[in-house]
Amino acid sequence: MGETVSPVLRKLLEERRILRSRTSSRMVAKELKGSELDLATAKASYEAGDHKWATVQAYYSIFHAARALLYNKGFRERSHRGLLKALAELYSRNTLSDMLVVFEESMSLREDADYELVHSEQGAGEALEDAEIFFERSKMILRDSIDGHRRARVQGEDLLSYLEKSKDSRGAISKRTRKHQAPRGRRQKP
């Protein structure tokens, strides 16, 4: 592979924080499905009042959707932060800039909930909203880039059919854009 890579991407490869990989649309589809399942579980945890686990599960929904985007470019991650940096290099700023902010904020919320036991209903609700938007935006990005991929099965359907059929909440995207203009109160302690 003689293509030019950015200095940041080259460093991530040298440090083995990401790896070039033979990825397939099947792997992309599996990560998207994992994202969708984690999102559903996060919603159930939130409804049950378990805000810590809702926060953690919402983050993992974002993580799996982010992995799908990385796999789509022929790379695998070796660290969560490496995944974040690689996406910033592999996709245009216009495509992912607000999504990368959401990914990083959710990672921080997950770490606080998991390791510091700091979480709140408000933080969990925002993490859930962010996860839903990240999932939907990831599907749109993948749908736009699917031309070069072989068809993959996702529990009885191919990736393109899955993307077309799965729930689409485009309205949530504009809500996130409006919300992003105001300061975020996510780090409030219970």
Q: How far is 51 from 121, CA to CA, in rounded Å?
A: 6
Would you state the CATH architecture of domain 7-180?
Up-down Bundle (1.20)
pLDDT of residue 18: 94
Q: How far apart are CA 158 and CA 46, in angstroms?
A: 31
DSSP string, 14-60: HTTSEEE----HHHHHHHHHHHHHHHHHHHHHHHTT-HHHHHHHHHH
pLDDT (0 to 100) of residue 181: 37
Alpha-helical segments (H) within the chain = 7-14, 25-47, 51-72, 80-90, 93-111, 121-144, 159-165, 170-180
The tokens for 146 are 């699917």
User: Could you give the percent of the chain with pLDDT greater than 90?
Assistant: 62
The predicted pLDDT at position 169 comes to 43
> Would you state the structure tokens that stand for residue 142, as one six-digit string?
């993948």
pLDDT lower than 50: segments of the chain: 1, 148-151, 153, 155-156, 169-190
Residue type at position 94? N
CA 42 – CA 119 distance, rounded (Å): 14
Q: Tell me the domain boundaries of the chain.
A: 7-180
Beta bridge partners of 157: 154
Question: Is residue 13 within 8 Å of residue 19, measured between CB atoms?
Answer: yes
Mean pLDDT estimate for the chain: 82
pTM flag (> 0.75): yes
* ∠ Cα 44 64 182 (to 5°): 70
pLDDT at 37: 98
> What is the rounded CA–CA span in Å between residue 37 and residue 39?
5
| Pairwise CA distance, residues 88 & 99, whole Å | 10
Pairing type for strands 18-20 and 157-158 reads unpaired
Dihedral sign for Cα atoms in the order 47, 52, 57, 63: positive
